[in-house]
Amino acid sequence: MPNEPALAPWRDFLAGARARYAQPVALESRGTLSRLTGLVLEASGLRVPVGAQCHVQMPHQEPVLAEVVGFAGEKAFLMPAGDIQGLSSGAVVTPAPAFVPAPRFGEPVAEVSLATGMLRLPMGDGLLGRVVDSQGIPLDHAGPVTDVTAEPMDRRQINAMDRDPVREPLDTGVRALNALLSVGRGQRLGLFAGSGVGKSVLLGMMARYTKADVIVVGLIGERGREVKEFVEDILGAEDRGRAVVVAAPADAPPLLRMQGAAYATAIAEHFRDKGQHVLLLMDSLTRYAMAQREIALAIGEPPATKGYPPSCFAKLPQLVERSGNGLNGVGSITAFYTVLSEGDDQQDPIADAARAILDGHIVLSRALAETGHFPAIDIEQSASRVMHNVVTREHFDLARRFRAVYSRYQKSRDLIQVGAYVAGSDPQIDEAVKLQPVMASFLQQNMFEAASMDESVSGMAALLGQ
C-alpha cells in the first residue's frame, strides 16, 4: 500500500498542472504576409492587438518572430525580431505562444494566462547572475533560466502621490559624485557625453561600488564586445551574483533594442516590488530613441526634430518614469541612463528631452578627457536636483563653496595662463589659483579605487580648510 503522505505532494503537483493547462484558449487568428518593405512586414487577415508577438512561417524554415506595431484597415504592420531572409508573399502569420516556465516539483504551480500573442518574459531570482537577451534567452552558456515566472512587460503606472520623495543618500563610490553631485536612493540621472569620453567606465565604477541589493544592466544598442567585458572585467565574480545583464547590441533589430530596454526596466520593477533596492544602469537611452525612430519612420510617421518623430519624445518619459521609489517607500530603483550627445552637442534633441525628464545630469567633458582627467565630469555643467534633500546643510555648503572656487579659476584661466593676471589683484582668484591643483586631484579617481561618502565629504572639507 503506497504511503499516502508521500503521495500528497505528487497529487498537488499534478492537480496544479492540470488546472494550469485546462484554461480555455481562444481560437487562433491567422494572417498572410502580403508585403515586405524595408523593415516593415504587412499581414492581411490578422486580428491581434498592437504589441502582440507573432510568428511568420514559411514551409521548411524556422519561424521569424515579429511584433505588431501598427495597423491600417485590415492590414497589420509588424517589425521583425529576427532575420527575414527567405520570407516571401503568402507566408503564414500566427500569434506566438506565451512563455510558460516549466513546472518544478515541490513548488506551487504558478497561475499564468495562456493567451497567445501578448509578450510575457521570465522574471525572478533565477535571473540573478545571468546574461540574457531581449527575449530572456540566456547568452552565458550556463543552461536554461530556472526559478522564474512569466510576467507581462506592461505594468500599471504608480500614482505620483503614492511614491515617497527622494530623501535617503546613496553612496556611489565615486568621489566627485558623492561630494558635489550627491545621489539619492530612487533618483534618475543621465550621463551626457559624446562617444569615447568614458561613460561606460563611469557606469562600471558605479556598478562595482554602489550599495544596492540588485544591479540590473541594460546594454542597449552598444558594441557587442562590451557585453563580455562588462560582465567579466567590471562586474567580476563578486558582484555578478546580484546582477542581471540584458544585452541587445547594435546589430540587433530595432524591435529587440527597444524590447531590451523595456525588459531591463521590468526586471528592475520586479525586484523593487519585492522591497529590494535596485540599481538600474542603461547604456544607452539614445540608442533606445534611435531604435524607436527606425520603427516609426518605417511605418510612415513623419519626422519632427532632426529626423526624430514625435513618438520618440513620447516614449522616453514612459520608460524613465517607471524607475524611482516604489509604492509607499517599499523598494526603489536608482537609475543611471547614458545619453549620447552627437558631436558633443548638449542641445541635441534627445539630450535636451532627457535632461528635462531626469532628476539630474552628469556631463562628461571631452576637453577634460583629452588632458587625462578621469572621470571627466564637468562640475560646472552638471547638477543633481535632489542633492539639497539628501545631504546635511554643512555638506551642501561645502559643495557650494567648492563649486564657487572651482568656477572662479575656470573663468580666469585664460588670463592666468597668458600671464595677464597679477597675483594679489583679487584675493578670491588668488585662493582659486592656490587650490586648483588639489581640486583637480580631488576630482580624479582611478576606476579600481572606491571613495565612500564620508571619505569624500571629509576630503572636501580638508581641501577647503574647514
Cα 135 to the center of its chain, rounded Å: 15
Beta strand 332-340 pairing with 188-193: parallel
* CATH code of the domain covering residue 233: 3.40.50.12240
Give the per-residue SS3 of 195-226.
CCCCHHHHHHHHHHHCCCCEEEEEEECCCCHH
Q: What share of the chain is helix, strand, coil (3-state, %, to 5)?
A: 40, 20, 40
pTM for the whole thing? Answer: 0.87
pLDDT by position in tens, the chain (length 466)? 456 666 677 677 677 666 656 655 555 678 999 999 888 999 998 888 888 889 999 998 899 999 999 898 889 999 998 888 889 999 999 988 766 555 555 555 444 444 556 788 999 999 999 999 999 999 998 999 988 988 888 777 888 888 889 999 999 999 999 999 999 999 999 999 888 888 888 988 888 899 899 999 999 998 888 888 888 877 767 778 899 999 999 999 999 999 999 999 999 999 999 999 999 999 889 999 999 999 999 888 998 888 899 999 999 999 999 999 988 778 999 999 999 887 666 678 999 999 999 999 999 999 999 998 999 999 999 999 999 999 999 999 999 999 999 999 998 888 887 787 778 888 888 998 999 999 999 999 998 899 999 999 999 999 998 6
- Whether residue 341 sits in one domain with residue 233: yes
- Whether residue 178 sits in one domain with residue 86: no
* Domain span holding position 110: 1-117
Torsion sign across C-alpha atoms 106, 136, 209, 397: negative
- Whether residue 411 sits in one domain with residue 274: no
- Whether residue 307 sits in one domain with residue 277: yes
DSSP letters of 20-59?
A: HHTS--PPPP-EEEEEEETTEEEEES----TTBEEEEE-T
Q: Report if residue 122 sits inside a domain.
A: no
Last residue of a domain, one of 386, 404, 430: 386
Last residue of a domain, one of 91, 117, 143: 117
Report how far residue 286's alpha carbon sits from residue 304's, in angstroms, rounded to the nearest whole number: 16
- Whether residue 438 sits in one domain with residue 357: no
Quote the number of domains for the chain: 3
* CATH code of the domain covering residue 92: 2.40.10.170
Q: Report if residue 431 sits inside a domain.
A: yes
Report how far residue 198's alpha carbon sits from residue 455's, in angstroms, rounded to the nearest whole number: 24
- Whether residue 400 sits in one domain with residue 359: no
- Whether residue 303 sits in one domain with residue 163: yes
Q: Report if residue 164 sits inside a domain.
A: yes
DSSP letters of 397-455?
A: HHHHHHHHHHHHHHHHHHHHHTT-SPTTS-HHHHHHHHHHHHHHHHH---TT----HHH
- Whether residue 289 sits in one domain with residue 203: yes
* CATH code of the domain covering residue 441: 1.20.1270.330
- Whether residue 405 sits in one domain with residue 371: no
